């Protein structure tokens, strides 16, 4: 079914917010960002988009709005089409120890595997909890959206429906989940599986030097 202009703005905000944060916005954040008069107006848009099949809402859950896979794919394909090819020349290899001869090649390093995947998003890191894994404050992590992860994976986790964190994931013998920081000065977070939502698994770290 066709979307109104306002409904498209609503969906585009949801996709952009979720890509940037790793979790969906609250109704209050939606109302503020889209200048909607009340939370009742947000509910009205949500209900209309559910009927049209563009949105799924988890009941009795905070931040549980999910945009349909079809709209996500269309949104990201349109966004990618507006950018030049995501690749840079790969001119060779350089040693970080003993010097080696630098030979210029003709290969190119493509980021299309990341930016072309509708399940990949980026987050900016805040804090020092993962510094021993060389993930520092101000870095960007590329995350694959998924809920099934292995012990030892670095994950984006949502605790109690509201607090997002970047940690290594471990299942404990007592059935709880341990979210382990890579900082010996910090303690792990232990939660029940029911209080945890895994938003994705970290694929890569990007750092800009200013």
Catalytic residues: 129, 167
Using CB atoms within 10 Å of the CB of residue 83, give its burial: 0 to 12 exposed, 13 to 18 middle, 19+ buried: exposed
What is d(CA 99, CA 61) in angstroms, rounded to the nearest whole number?
56
Q: For residue 134, which of 206, 209, 210 has the smallest C-alpha distance?
A: 206
Contact 75, 82 (CB under 8 A): no
Contact 63, 47 (CB under 8 A): no
SS3 of 42, please? helix
What value does the CA radius of gyration of the chain take, rounded to a whole number of Å? 20
Structure-token match 């010097």, residue found = 99
Contact 159, 169 (CB under 8 A): no
């Amino acid at each position: 079914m066709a979307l109104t202009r306002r409904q498209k703005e609503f969906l585009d905000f949801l996709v952009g917010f979720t890509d940037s944060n790793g979790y969906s916005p609250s109704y209050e954040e939606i109302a503020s960002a889209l200048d909607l008069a009340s939370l009742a107006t947000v509910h009205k848009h949500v209900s209309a988009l559910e009927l049209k099949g563009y949105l799924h809402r988890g009941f009795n859950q905070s931040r549980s709005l999910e945009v349909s896979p079809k709209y996500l794919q269309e949104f990201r394909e349109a966004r990618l089409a507006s950018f030049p090819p995501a690749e840079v020349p790969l001119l060779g290899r350089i040693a970080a120890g003993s010097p080696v001869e630098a030979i210029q090649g003709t290969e190119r390093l493509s980021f299309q595997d990341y930016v072309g995947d509708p399940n990949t998003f980026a987050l900016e890191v805040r804090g020092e909890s993962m510094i021993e894994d060389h993930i520092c404050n101000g870095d960007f992590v590329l995350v694959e959206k998924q809920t099934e992860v292995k012990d030892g994976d670095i994950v984006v986790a949502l605790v109690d429906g509201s607090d997002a964190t970047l940690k290594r994931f471990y299942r404990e013998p007592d059935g709880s989940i341990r979210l382990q920081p890579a900082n010996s000065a910090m303690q792990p977070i232990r939660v029940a599986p029911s209080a945890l939502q895994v938003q994705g698994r970290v694929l890569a770290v990007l750092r800009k030097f200013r």
